[in-house]
């Protein structure tokens, strides 16, 4: 399962954002990474989920 949380950084590169969800992560198949993309997530038909190049990827425990 994927989820999107778009944010924009300030001139110094800092940003702050948060999100909550009402469903538990699937304990059988929990999320394994957090990926930061270069652009805001597109939602238009045929382009949904596209967000540009990957800038960072963090492995989750």
Q: How far is CA 60 from the centre of its chain?
A: 13
pTM, full prediction: 0.54
CA distances from 36 to 23, 25, 27, 28, 44 (A): 22, 20, 23, 24, 20
Q: Write out pLDDT tens, residues 1-60.
A: 456 777 888 999 898 887 776 767 777 878 888 888 888 888 889 888 888 898 888 888
The closest alpha carbon to 7, from 37, 31, 45, belongs to 37
Contact 8, 32 (CB under 8 A): no
CA distance 51 to 39: 5
């Amino acid at each position: 399962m994927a989820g999107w949380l778009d944010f924009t950084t300030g001139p110094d590169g800092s940003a702050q954002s948060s999100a909550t969800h009402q469903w538990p992560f699937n304990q059988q198949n929990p999320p394994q990474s957090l990926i930061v993309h270069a652009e805001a997530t597109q939602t238009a038909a045929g382009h949904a989920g596209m967000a540009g190049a990957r800038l960072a990827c963090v492995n989750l425990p």
